[in-house]
């Protein structure tokens, strides 16, 4: 198998990883049937004989994804594994041990050389690198670290690198990963030990998964930033398989909130469970992708908008309503009879109003220093979603023309 064929094999299932807020892969061929995600399918623009010369069509290959970096910059991201061989048997995973499909593995230098060429040809501006586990988490992590080291040192790669931390990696390896990467991640997969046992019987929640995330924060607190590759602390993220272990949104968001507060997690990704053929969960129903969306909205309320877990509008089954934005549901319960005066509310109050984000709240505070805000049209000029906000606000003591509080 040449290097491009290997890359095709290794990247074919990477839309399961929601790194860097990827949307649809560039030129993605839908490799799913109605019920299952399927095994590796060669993208139409590649054939197994494709050579690493990168035609225009190859540059639009299905293994690269539009992505947004933490600084807001949009790039094309290569998401891949170093190896799809894995000795673990997570119930939801296409790479689980014993599943019958063609495995592929890069040597560290082989991948670094290929990616360096892709980067130089403009095919990808960043890379997300993970791996199946072979020979234990420590050995696998060493291979990921070797690859990152070769990229940074031998190929002088200065672009974005997101490196996965393997279950069972050692603290020194986490430190090395942080020195080389812009972002590191450990997939918790489930919100607690009990739920993880339903998904991944050989992963240990506290020792193998949570502890490395704690180490990341310990290292950030104890090592000066100049020790890291570009003089900045790398961010840390995690991913959950939403709905895979029948957990509730409350459980997922409780763990997310704890991580944000205690280990400064940048964000959690939620991948709605989707059954994969020939895995123990192949007959489990897929989770509605809208659940992912609501979890993201709620996690941003916890991270950026001053919401506490008890503010979120969980139903009696501890899940968020799927039909409506949680901020809007909260406002309908809490603000509809207690509207907020736009002209004297503080930032914390303003950002709780639907239609007003953090930048919008700052724009309002700046504008009202000059003149009182008396109309929805003034709010619109400040790029506020004024119609969405209007049921929940007062303008100079008066309710704006009454609007119905709509759901999303």
Q: Do 186 and 208 contact (CB within 8 A), yes or no?
A: no
Q: Do 76 and 26 contact (CB within 8 A), yes or no?
A: yes
Positions that interact with ligand SF4 (CB under 6 A)? 86, 88, 90, 93, 95-96, 132-133, 200
Residues 6+ apart with CB under 8 A from 245: 190, 195, 196, 198, 199
Write down the least CB distance from residue 133 to ligand SF4, Å: 5
Write down the least CB distance from residue 18 to ligand SF4, Å: 14
Write down the least CB distance from residue 32 to ligand SF4, Å: 18
Question: Other CB atoms closer than 10 Å to residue 158's CB: what's the count?
Answer: 11
Q: Which CB, 287 or 335, lies closer to ligand SF4?
A: 287
Write down the least CB distance from residue 90 to ligand SF4, Å: 3
Q: Which CB, 8 or 196, lies closer to ligand SF4?
A: 196
* Sheet of strand 235-242: strand arrangement: 64-68, 74-81, 126-130, 160-164, 183-185, 235-242, 267-272
- Nearest CA-CA partner of 18 in 318, 302, 273, 303: 273
Q: Which CB, 241 or 342, lies closer to ligand SF4?
A: 241
Question: Helix or strand or coil: residue 157?
Answer: coil
Write down the least CB distance from residue 88 to ligand SF4, Å: 4
Question: Helix or strand or coil: residue 127?
Answer: strand
Tokens 């763990």: give the residue: 255
Write down the least CB distance from residue 21 to ligand SF4, Å: 21
Question: Other CB atoms closer than 10 Å to residue 48's CB: what's the count?
Answer: 11
DSSP letter for each residue of 194-219: HHHHTT-TT--IIIIIIHHHHHHHHH
Q: Which CB, 133 or 263, lies closer to ligand SF4?
A: 133
Tokens 């005066």: give the residue: 341
d(CA 100, CA 274): 19
Write down the least CB distance from residue 40 to ligand SF4, Å: 14
The widest CA-to-CA distance across the chain, in whole angstroms, is 71
Q: Which CB, 197 or 394, lies closer to ligand SF4?
A: 197
Q: Which CB, 168 or 400, lies closer to ligand SF4?
A: 168
Write down the least CB distance from residue 162 to ligand SF4, Å: 16
Q: Which CB, 209 or 386, lies closer to ligand SF4?
A: 209
Question: Helix or strand or coil: residue 322?
Answer: coil
Phi, psi of 65 (to 5 degrees): -130, 140
Q: Which CB, 91 or 228, lies closer to ligand SF4?
A: 91
Q: Do 151 and 157 contact (CB within 8 A), yes or no?
A: yes
Write down the least CB distance from residue 100 to ligand SF4, Å: 14
Q: Which CB, 189 or 292, lies closer to ligand SF4?
A: 189
d(CA 389, CA 382): 13
Write down the least CB distance from residue 202 to ligand SF4, Å: 8
Q: Which CB, 88 or 117, lies closer to ligand SF4?
A: 88
């Amino acid at each position: 198998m040449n290097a491009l064929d290997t890359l095709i094999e290794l990247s074919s299932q990477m839309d399961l990883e929601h790194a860097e807020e990827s949307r649809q892969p560039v030129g993605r061929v839908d490799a799913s049937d109605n019920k299952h995600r399927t095994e590796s399918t060669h993208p139409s623009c590649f054939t197994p004989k494709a050579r690493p010369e990168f035609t225009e069509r190859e540059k639009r290959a299905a293994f690269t994804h539009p992505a947004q970096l933490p600084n807001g910059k949009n790039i094309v991201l290569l998401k891949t594994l170093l190896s799809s061989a894995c000795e673990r048997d997570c119930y939801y995973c296409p790479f689980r041990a014993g599943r019958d499909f063609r495995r592929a593995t890069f040597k560290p230098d082989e991948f670094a050389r290929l990616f360096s060429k892709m980067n130089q040809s403009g095919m990808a501006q960043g890379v997300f690198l993970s791996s199946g586990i072979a020979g234990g988490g420590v050995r696998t992590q060493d291979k990921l670290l070797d690859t990152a080291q070769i990229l940074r040192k031998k190929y002088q790669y200065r672009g974005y690198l997101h490196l996965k931390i393997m279950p069972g990696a050692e603290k020194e390896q986490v430190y090395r990963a942080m020195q080389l990467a812009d972002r590191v991640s450990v997939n918790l997969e489930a919100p607690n030990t009990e739920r993880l046992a339903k998904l991944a019987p050989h992963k240990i929640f506290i020792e193998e998964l949570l502890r490395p995330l704690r180490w990341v924060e310990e290292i950030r607190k104890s090592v000066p930033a100049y020790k890291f590759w570009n003089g900045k602390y790398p961010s840390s993220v995690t991913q959950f398989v939403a709905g895979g272990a029948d957990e509730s949104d409350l459980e997922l968001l409780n763990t997310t909130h704890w991580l944000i507060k205690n280990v400064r997690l940048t964000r959690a990704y939620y991948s709605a469970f989707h059954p994969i053929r020939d895995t123990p969960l192949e007959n489990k129903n897929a989770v509605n992708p809208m659940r992912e969306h609501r979890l993201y909205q709620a996690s941003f309320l916890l991270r950026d908008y001053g919401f506490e877990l008890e503010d979120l509008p969980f139903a009696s089954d501890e899940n968020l309503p799927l039909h409506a934005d949680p901020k809007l549901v909260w406002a309908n319960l809490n603000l509809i009879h207690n509207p907020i005066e736009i002209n004297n509310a503080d930032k914390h109050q303003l950002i709780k109003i639907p239609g007003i984000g953090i930048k919008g709240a700052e724009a309002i505070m700046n504008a009202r220093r000059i003149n009182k805000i008396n109309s929805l049209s003034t709010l619109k000029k400040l790029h506020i979603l004024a119609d969405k906000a209007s049921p929940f606000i007062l303008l100079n003591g008066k309710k704006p023309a009454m609007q119905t509080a709509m759901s999303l």
